Structure 1
Amino acid sequence: MDFQRKTTGESATNNIEFAQATTRKPLELLRDTEALLRRPTVATLMPILPPKLGNRLQELQEVAEDSLTDLALIDLEKISDWEMRSPRIRLGLSFVGFGALMVVVLLLYLNTLHPELSTVEQIRQYWYQYVWFVNLGVAGMFMLGREAMRPRK
């Protein structure tokens, strides 16, 4: 038996031309992707909704279209590290604040709706939520610490 493969000519794989990828900005991709999801959704909901709510939804769609078009014009390469400092600090503070707020809400929930449980039983039963909220606060603290250690220019 002959197991050697015999080629009789040029294979078709040698002639394949691949399409060139177009380089689009991330914000343009966001705008286009969001529009592809939003437009059919709005078109589906418009006949179902009451006229007043449908008109409001149509207005919101126009605002979203305008906002995302303006957003797509932003060149991310021109935004400096210094300009991003304030948003990073705010995001870190938001993480810390939200984590702390949710721990307090969880404690309030446990003390008002489950007063029969001891502290150890509460932690045993709701440890997953404690871990999430504490880790959210810790992540915010890391973000703030990173900003504090970032060199000023």
Structure 2
Amino acid sequence: MDWQPEQIPQTPPETLEFQEPEALPPLELRPVREGSLDLELPDDANLPIALTDISAPSSQADVAEVQISLIEQIKQELQDVGDEDLKPARIQIGLLFIGVSALLLMSLLLYITAMHPGLTVKQQMLRYWSEYVGFVGLGVAGLMMLGREAMRSPDISEEGDR
């Protein structure tokens, strides 16, 4: 029996040729004015403003006037948004913070028990304290948002409501 290893011939590795990246044209920066905005909207787009009073513009100047009037209408509607209109959004964001915090804490606990079953509670807290504090902080922020909403005084429309 021959115990000598068989010699494998050494071949040099292939050199690969890479394609040169194509040259992109340089960017052109143009100043944007409110009247020069050209927004493409699909036919079934939901707009915040009813467009029934706008007729088809006949010239470029009319297009600019229509777009400026739209921008002014949008600004006016944003100024009309009151505190009472934003209350449901603030409550939903607070509940979202609390829910995401609870979900993240549960996933952290699941990860720790599945991947590191031999750790004691003290070792778990020492190793994952930053994640724990971050997730709890997110939940506390949500609770504070809800508490702030609960403590707001309702707008009193009549004197007899007190």
Residue in 1 that maps onto 2:91: 89
Aligned counterpart for 2:114 among listed residues 108, 112, 115: 112
- What amino acid does structure 2 have at the position aligned with 1:107? L
SS in 1 for 2:85: coil
Per-residue Cα deviation, 1:22-81 (whole angstroms, up to 9, x for no partner): xx9xxxxxxx8xx9xxxxxxxxxxxxxxxxxxxxxxxxx967xx67x7597363211110
Per-residue Cα deviation, 1:92-117 (whole angstroms, up to 9, x for no partner): 00001110110011001000111011
Structure 2, unaligned stretches of length 5 or more?
Answer: 1-33, 50-70, 156-162
Aligned counterpart for 2:130 among listed residues 128, 131, 136: 128
- What amino acid does structure 1 have at the position aligned with 2:108? L
CA RMSD of aligned residues (A): 2.7
How many residues align? The count is 93
2:139 counterpart of 1:137 = yes
After the TM superposition, which residues 70-89 of structure 1 pair with which residues of structure 2 at under 5 Å, given as runs? 70=48, 73=74, 75-89=77-91
Greater C-alpha Rg: 2
Distance 2:41 2:103 in 1: 35
Residue in 2 that maps onto 1:19: none
Residue in 2 that maps onto 1:39: none
Pick the structure with more helix per residue.
Answer: 1
Query: CA distance change for structure 1 residues 62 and 76 in 2, over 3 Å: closer, same or farther?
Result: closer
Distance 1:123 1:62 in 2: 53
Distance 1:118 1:141 in 2: 30
2:104 counterpart of 1:102 = yes
Aligned residues: percent identity? 40
Query: CA distance change for structure 1 residues 62 and 102 in 2, over 3 Å: closer, same or farther?
Result: farther
SS in 2 for 1:84: helix
TM-score normalised to structure 1 length: 0.54
Distance 1:107 1:62 in 2: 47
Structure 1, unaligned stretches of length 5 or more?
Answer: 1-23, 25-31, 36-60
Distance 2:123 2:79 in 1: 52
- What amino acid does structure 2 have at the position aligned with 1:88? R
- What amino acid does structure 2 have at the position aligned with 1:110? I
SS in 2 for 1:97: helix
SS in 2 for 1:117: coil
